[in-house]
Structure 1
Amino acid sequence: MDIKEIQSLIKFVAKSGASEVKLETDEIKITIRTGPGGSYPEATYVQQYPQPAQPAAPAPVAPAAPAAPQEEPKKESEDSKYITMKSPIIGTFYRKPSPDKPAFVEVGDTISKGDVLCVIEAMKLFNDIESEVSGKIIKVLVEDSSPVEFDQPLFLIDPS
């Protein structure tokens, strides 16, 4: 289920007058609650479930597991000096204001607090996502035009 289908479901539930709808599949669980009279969605909860692993897959992964934890703490310590800019909403991530314009920010750009980093489209509304800190863009963590979840990391920023 993609973000557009979820948005359509939210609109349908709001128009139907139902106070709560739950949808659960193998990979996603959605609960939609509407406000008084069903006129607007009051809260939306989306949770992804991990796909069940095949029985043969864990055996080959186990020998490689000791190498990964050795690299992981090193990466965490390197990334710990950076601030992670996270998505404040669910929607579709766009790096540019329109397809024919340049990206808001590129890796290596110096930014100030309040600078627009990207836009996230939610329910046909384009929301400017502004930087909460000043610094330098180290990494863009999301591909352009891809769906993002609430609190999903978008950018790594070096505040120094």
Structure 2
Amino acid sequence: MDIKEIQNLIKFVAKSGASEVKLEMEDVKITIRTGSGKTETTIVQAAPMQGAPQVAAHAPAQPVAETPAAPVANANDDSKLITIKSPIIGTFYRKPSPDKPNFTEVGAEIGVGDTVCVIEAMKLFNEIESEVSGKIVKVLVDDSTPVEFDQPLFLVDPS
């Protein structure tokens, strides 16, 4: 497998939205992981080819589409904020149904136990309740997008 084929594979994986792809052939193992706005590729040549030295490479690649990354924690502004994270893998929805209003908006006050969103996993809609009280500062995920376990969903100002 040449470098051009690997680059095309990385572009394809970045476009597809998959979080991880593993490809194993007779002499090459490739793992491509995407997440948090970057694509990471690890290539390991398992069996040396006729006296060639074994190669292990780790090369970050540029994602094809620019995706908004999670905000970097700023010591001054975000240090007091609490992050509500996804407890499961699934699809994030801000509304209980398409014709209903959002559970919460930026600037809204929430309390412990308030439903902030639902995450669909295997055709089950799981209500995600807040474990903190405060004011929603930012929604970190777009509606109807896939989320991973422990992915930040909301920033809350507890003061």
Report percent identity of matched pairs: 63
User: In 2, Cα distance between the equivalents of 1:98 and 1:53?
Assistant: 39
Task: Structure 1 unaligned segments of length 5 or more: list them.
Answer: 7-22, 30-47, 58-71
Instruction: Verify the 8 A CA contact 2:108 2:136 in the aligned structure 1.
Output: yes
2:52 maps to none
> Structure 1 residue runs of 4+, over 2 Å off?
23-29, 51-54
2:130 maps to 131
TM-score for both structures, normalised by structure 2: 0.59
Q: CA offsets, 1:113-136, max 9 Å, x none?
A: 000000000111100000001100
User: In 1, Cα distance between the equivalents of 2:94 and 2:140?
Assistant: 11
How far off is 1:2 after superposition? 5.6
User: In 1, Cα distance between the equivalents of 2:86 and 2:150?
Assistant: 5
User: In 2, Cα distance between the equivalents of 1:154 and 1:94?
Assistant: 11
1:153 maps to 152
TM-score for both structures, normalised by structure 1: 0.59
Map 1:1-160 to 2 at 5 A: 24-25=22-23, 26-28=31-33, 50-51=40-41, 52-53=59-60, 75-160=74-159
Q: Tell me, what secondary structure is at the counterpart of 2:127?
A: strand
User: In 2, Cα distance between the equivalents of 1:112 and 1:104?
Assistant: 12
Instruction: Verify the 8 A CA contact 2:111 2:130 in the aligned structure 1.
Output: yes
How far off is 1:77 after superposition? 3.0
User: In 2, Cα distance between the equivalents of 1:155 and 1:135?
Assistant: 11
Task: Structure 2 unaligned segments of length 5 or more: list them.
Answer: 1-15, 24-30, 42-58, 63-71
How far off is 1:53 after superposition? 4.0
1:62 maps to none
Instruction: Verify the 8 A CA contact 2:92 2:117 in the aligned structure 1.
Output: yes
Q: Tell me, what secondary structure is at the counterpart of 1:27?
A: strand
Quote the RMSD (CA, aligned, Å): 2.7
Q: Which has the higher helix share?
A: 1
In the alignment of these two chains, the number of paired residues is 107
Q: Tell me, what secondary structure is at the counterpart of 2:143?
A: coil
What one-letter code is carried by the residue in structure 2 that aligns with 1:24?
K
How far off is 1:49 after superposition? 5.9
How far off is 1:101 after superposition? 0.7
How far off is 1:27 after superposition? 2.5
